[in-house]
Structure 1
Amino acid sequence: MRGHPADFGLLRQLWRFRSYGRAHLKVLLLGVGFRVAELVADLAQPWPLALVIDDVLRGGHSHGPLARLVSPLGGSPLAMLTAAAVAVLVITLASGTFDYLGDRVMNGAGERITAAIRADVFAHLQRLPMAFHDRQAVGELTSRISTDTDRIEDGLVDLFSTLLPGLLSIAGFAAVLVSVDWRLGLIAISCAPLVFVTASRYTRLTRQAARHQRAAEGRLAGYVAESLQGIRTVHAFGRHDLHDARFATDNTSALNAGLQSVELRARFTPLLEAATAVGTAVLLWAGGFGVLSNWWSVGLLVVVASYMRDMVKPMRSLSRLALTFTQGAASAERVAAILDQPLRPPAPPRPLPRRATGRIDLYEGSLDYGRGPVLHRLNLVVRPGERIMLLGPNGAGKTTVLALVAGLYSLTEGQLLLDGLPIAQLPRPWLRRQVAVVLQDTFLFSGTLTDNLRYARPEAGPEEIASAADAALVTQFAAELPDGLNTEIGDHGTGLSGGQRQRVGIARALLLDAPVVLLDEPTTGLDHTAEQLVIRALTRLVKDRTVIMTTHRPALGSLATRTVHMDGGALCGPAPGISLPSTT
């Protein structure tokens, strides 16, 4: 039977992640070996019963493999009965042991494979440019890293623990059936095509359902994450009903997709049972007729019927793999969509000073996020130690200039240089040590205050951390906390005021000790007292550094040595003359 073209596409999606299994190939092959040993034990299971029926109950003589093994014990019924009972115990124990070892080895490898995939996806995701993250929902990406990688694991593990052993089992049972009696063997395996036709039909039906279900679950996870991130706004405006309604819509979509998958699974089992029943009915009639005609013994018919029953089990397992592989392939597509996103090409090796002087040159700079240009042929020079304040209405492009200097985005056209070197071509680790950023709302991670300060420079020692905290006036409020700088804080700095979070952000920048500092409205939303404390800390931060800041607050503007007016992504008035330094 020729497979549907898309069936092979399912395995191709999972096969893409084969490199993760290659690292555990020896363990996976060991698991396959245990499955083969289990198959051998299963092949031996019906023969003790055949021995009892033919040699003990009917007083005949069995020609099965077990009869030949126990023939030295003599032909007495009691000896045969004892040998059959012992054989049942040994065979069952062996089958259970190999089943346990196979599951233990396969599932352990599957967990390690999933952990490796998840780690690579997370690492790749973190390093993708901001332009990618601007287009994605956080919850959707979280769903891909957690749920989708688990379903890839299910597909990859089932490939080794179910597909390969299942094919071996079917081949083994079929070969033994034909070797025992070719007529009964052909009758028994005649139901196989009917089972696989049913499974093929089931696969095509479930493929689209699985894709719809994963997409619906991803949207739901994305909306949940967005709502929880904005829970303060939800409470502030009392719009719980709005979020309930949106959640209900997405939840209903996920429910409908899940119910469609449940319906297909429920429909498939009776169809498979019916296909199996056809073969069983034919075997019983033909086998019973053969026994009545003395073509073969009752024990042999029992063995063949048992083999057929056991052969149908892997057929059912393989058929049910359609759902696992379909879900795994749908998840593999979603994970691969992340891994296929190109990273920023590595910067060519070049000798770089430990510390930049801080000169910034922006020449004919234009930027388009994909929704229209936000900068238009912008020219700007910031000399070392100069403190520039960008002024202009909202949407003028001020924050975009800071994002470009920080290396978060790349120009669509033009050049942006740091000390005469194109920022887009500089190694990211080096650039991060040259540019410190203090945002409008400093993001703090869960952990201690010390952890959040050390985030800027992990190798910083306790004395350096304490010095930065003292200079940024963090020590002033940390002294009142239960454990000082070792106090645990929640996500987003829960428990700290806006001004306190800003001072932690300034301490980070001080600890980094970068020659270039970017300030993006760092005092917005603060009361007068908090603003004065933050400006005191900023005064220490900007000393002897190149600074570009955006602000609407006169108090912060007093730190600037020059103002630059922007509107509509361009400078207001004639652009300053620029002498672009050589980049060679």
Structure 2
Amino acid sequence: MRPHLLFLVLALLTAAASVGLTLYGPVLIGRAIDMIVGPGQVKFTGVLYILLWLAGVYLLAAVFQWAMTLCTNRVAFFTVRDLRRSLFDKLQKVPLRFIDQSAHGDLITRMVSDIDLISDGLLQGFAQLFTGVITIVGTLLFMLSINVKIALVVVLITPLSLFVASFIARHSHDQFRRQSAARGDMGALVEEMVAGQKVVRAFRYESRAQDTFDGINQQLYQCGVRAQFYSSMTNPCTRFVNGLVYAGVGIIGAVAAIAGHLTVGQISAFLTYANQYTKPFNEISGVVTELQSAFASARRVFAVLDEPDEPTEAPAVLPRSDGSVGLEQVSFRYSPQKPLIEDFSLAVQPGQRIAIVGPTGCGKTTIINLLMRFYDVNSGRICISGTDIQDVTRQSVRQQYGMVLQDSWLFSGTVRQNIAYARPDATDEEIVAAAKFAHAHSFIKRLPQGYDTVIGEDGGSISQGQRQLLCIARILLVSPPMLILDEATSNIDTRTEQRIQRALAKLMEGRTSFVVAHRLSTIKEADNILVMRDGHIVEQGRHQQLLDAGGFYAKLYASQFEVQETAVQ
């Protein structure tokens, strides 16, 4: 809230003014009552003057109340806006390791639902906490100015209200904390089920998914019921305490009036103050529910904000590469207990096509993650054009590569915007040329609005192969010095794949290319094939050389050929 300290101070000052004027009202009402002595003994002029003065006081109090609400709303909404912006910015800065290891649905819940709950808590807290505290202090001062003894009676009963509020807050907080955690689990599950709905149905997982959802939903229900139970105790408990205070003031005030220590008007003012003194305890206790929910959500949000950013990078910028890449004794592991890549070295000359093959889990995609600096090496170094990528910015490293992954990614927008994702300033002619080069132009023209057709999130309205074509067109538009193709044609039919392979072959001319492949038939023209096994290069060479050697690569190739033969038969 610190950036909005001015509005915070103004809210406090206007709250003090509003409450002070409101509390001055019972004093005026008491004076008016004392001017009504009996039948035929009413000082109408004095009563009228007090009523006019009272109207002015309440009108001015309403103006200050409006100003206080305006200030508190600005503080709350601006703070939540900044918090949501900070959280989104943090997600751009944390290491990819954190994103990979976190449930995406849970992160979305923290960004949306948890921050909304913080907003509700701030609004409730500011509007009632400010006025409540000032009302308690103000009424106590006014009561002390009228009669110290009766005021002390009110103060002595106060700890009972504090005890009730503390008891409710302590028990409801734990339930709201569990409720927030269950809400995050539910968001993660729903996100997984929606994203993988085809797989869920294909494997007849609906009933088990429903059971899992019901379990989390039941847990959320139980936490919510318990939290609401404790919070629902607030109003009756505090009202009981309020009744004790009001009765005590009424009885003692009546005795004091009989003894001549108080006037009837002062008793009236005292009873009003006693009611106003205890009312904030009731309101503040009621706010506890919102505040505890907000605190529980805030802990989840700040758990992300407190995550360390990616290590500080050097300010130097890597110029456009000539295409040479070197890996020198690189070692890396995702988990300290599980070695993956150990003492890996590789020298890539400009313009070479490097194919990376091997069984699942051998480290092929990990090499790509290290080249792109999605992860940093544990030891050794990676150089581009002789420059250690640790000595330059990550952005300048990633600008050297154009990457097409096996899993295509598109966002909700027009086809034109998706192709121009990395170059929003590209001309229409450049976009169309890239689409033609990727053999995507023909199917784009058949769409309802052509290049202006809006496709759904992740390209849901077009086929998987068409999505991949758009991703390839996106890379062609950027024209980077190096390419990374991770099974880029795996989701495309054979005929289209042949056309794409020819286009990619032309694109790769003069560019260093790293191709991760499972189908070994697609990498026969590679300049160097790296055969990986358990994080190590066990063989390397051209396709025919590796076949003639009769090693691990030859066995992989033979096994695929046998599978293809069997499929044909």
How does the TM-score come out when normalised to structure 2?
Answer: 0.89
Query: Do residues 49 (structure 1) and 14 (structure 2) align?
Result: no
What's the counterpart of residue 11 of structure 2? Answer: 31
Separation (CA, whole Å) in 2 of partners of 1:203 and 1:191: 19
1:261 aligned partner: 227
The amino acid of 1:394's aligned partner reads T
8 Å contact kept, 2:447–2:453: yes
1:391-416 Cα deviation digits (max 9, x unpaired) = 11111211111111111111222222
SS in 2 for 1:409: coil
CA distance in 2 between partners of 1:388 and 1:453 (Å): 26
1:356 to 312, 316, 321: 321
SS of the equivalent of 2:347 reads strand
**Match of residue 314 from structure 1:** 280
Query: Which residue is equivalent to 1:340?
Result: 306
2:272 alignment partner AA: S
Residue of structure 1 equivalent to 2:106: 140
Query: 2: CA distance between counterparts of 1:379 and 1:422?
Result: 14
The one-letter code sitting in structure 2 at the alignment partner of 1:77 is K
CA distance in 1, matches of 2:484, 2:234: 61
SS state at 1:410 partner = coil
In structure 1, distance between residues paired with 2:308 and 2:343? 27
Quick check: 1:379–1:575 contact (8 Å CA) kept in 2? no
Quote the Cα distance in structure 2 between the aligned partners of 1:312 and 1:559. 84
C-alpha separation in 2, matches of 1:170 and 1:319: 14
Select the residue among 18, 22, 26 that pairs with 2:2: 22
1:129 aligns with 2:109: no
- Identify which of 398, 412, 417 aligns with 1:446: 412
Paired letter, 2:305: L
Matches within 5 A, 1:468-479: 468-479=434-445
CA RMSD of aligned residues (A): 2.3
1:244 aligns with 2:224: no
| Structure 1 counterpart of 2:154, one-letter code | A
Tell me the CA shift for residue 158 of structure 1.
Answer: 5.1
Check if 1:528 corresponds to 2:508.
Answer: no
Encode CA deviations 1:445-471: one digit per residue, 9 max, x unaligned: 000111111212233333332322222
1:277 aligned residue (230, 239, 243): 243
User: What code does the residue aligned with 1:423 have?
Assistant: I
Going from structure 1 to structure 2, the CA distance change for 1:351 and 1:278 (only over 3 Å counts) comes to closer
CA–CA separation in structure 2 for the residues paired with 1:491 and 1:294: 79
Q: Secondary structure at the match of 2:36?
A: helix
Which of 519, 534, 555 is equivalent to 1:568?
534
Distance 1:575 1:474 in 2: 34
User: How many Å separate the matches in 2 of 1:316 and 1:136?
Assistant: 40
SS at match of 1:504: helix
1:62-461 alignment to 2 at 5 Å?
Answer: 77-157=43-123, 160-350=126-316, 352-353=318-319, 355-370=320-335, 372-461=338-427
Identity of paired residues, percent? Answer: 30
Can you list the C-alpha shifts for 1:192-227, whole angstroms capped at 9, x where unaligned? 222112222222222222211111111111111111
1:511 aligned to which of 471, 474, 477: 477
CA distance in 1, matches of 2:540, 2:412: 47
Residue aligned with 2:340, SS: strand
For residue 8 of structure 1, what is the aligned residue in structure 2?
Answer: none
Deviates more, 1:186-195 or 1:251-260: 186-195
Matched AA of 2:7: V
Question: C-alpha distance in 1, partners of 2:164/2:533?
Answer: 66
Deviation, structure 1 residue 122? 0.6
- The one-letter code of the counterpart of 1:268 is T
Could you tell me how far 1:157 is from its partner in structure 2?
4.7
Q: What stretches of structure 1 of length at least 5 have no aligned partner?
A: 1-20, 61-74, 577-584
Is 1:462–2:415 an aligned residue pair? no
Superposition deviation, residue 88 in structure 1: 4.8
Q: Is the 8 A contact 1:472 1:506 kept in 2?
A: yes
Q: Distance in 1 between the 2:349 and 2:38 partners? A: 105
Shift of 1:55: 1.1
> Is the deviation greater in 406-415 or in 213-222?
406-415
Contact 1:502 1:534 in 2 (8 A): no
Instruction: Tell me how far apart the structure 1 counterparts of residues 297 and 26 of structure 2 sit (CA, whole Å).
Output: 41
Q: Deviations over 1:497-521 (max 9, x none)?
A: 2221111111111122211111111
Which has the larger displacement, 166-175 or 235-244?
235-244
Report the count of equivalent residues.
541
Cα displacement (A) at 1:542 = 1.7
Q: Is this contact kept in 1: 2:15–2:134, CA < 8 A?
A: no
Higher mean Cα deviation, 175-184 or 39-48? 39-48
Residues 28 and 160 of structure 1 are in contact (CA less than 8 Å); yes or no, is this contact kept in structure 2? no
Confirm or deny: 8 A CA contact 2:115 2:301 kept in the other structure: yes
- The CA distance in 1 between the partners of 2:435 and 2:322, in whole Å, is 25
Kept in 1, the 8 Å contact 2:420–2:474? The answer is yes
Contact 2:531 2:540 in 1 (8 A): no
* Counterpart Cα distance in 2 of 1:435 and 1:254: 46
Residues 460 and 115 from structure 1, CA distance in 2 versus in 1: closer, same or farther, beyond 3 angstroms?
Answer: same
Report the alpha carbon displacement of residue 573 of structure 1 after superposing the two structures with TM: 4.2
Inter-partner Cα distance in structure 2 for 1:25 and 1:568: 57
- Asked if structure 1 preserves the Cα contact closer than 8 Å seen for 2:105 and 2:187, the reply is yes
AA aligned opposite 2:4 = H
After TM superposition, give the deviation of residue 25 of structure 1 in Å.
1.5
**TM-score normalised to structure 1 length:** 0.87
Distance 2:506 2:163 in 1: 76
Cα 1:552/1:468, change in 2 over 3 Å: same
Residue identity in the other structure for 2:148: W
Offset at residue 49 of structure 1 (A): 3.3
Structure 2 CA distance for partners of 1:505 and 1:186, relative to 1, 3 Å? same
Q: CA deviation at 1:239?
A: 2.4
> 1:156, CA displacement in angstroms?
4.4
Letter in 2 for 1:363: E
1:154 shift after superposition = 4.0
CA deviation after TM superposition for structure 1 residue 76, in Å: 5.5
Letter in 1 for 2:414: T
SS at match of 2:327: strand
Asked whether the equivalents of residues 35 and 98 of structure 1 are also in contact (C-alpha less than 8 Å), the reply is yes
Contact 1:471 1:540 in 2 (8 A): no
Equivalent residue, structure 1, for 2:566:
none
Find the aligned partners of 1:466 and 1:123 in 2 and give their Cα distance: 33
Which runs of 5 or more structure 2 residues have no equivalent in the other structure?
543-569
Tell me if structure 2 keeps the 8 A contact 1:190–1:279: no
1:71 alignment counterpart: none
Tell me the CA shift for residue 124 of structure 1.
Answer: 0.8
Which amino acid in 2 is paired with 1:43? L
Q: Any conservation in 1 of the 2:365–2:516 contact (CA below 8 Å)?
A: yes
User: Offset of 1:85 from its aligned partner?
Assistant: 4.2
CA contact (8 A) 1:387 1:547 kept: yes
Task: Provide the secondary structure at the position in 1 that maps to 2:342.
Answer: strand
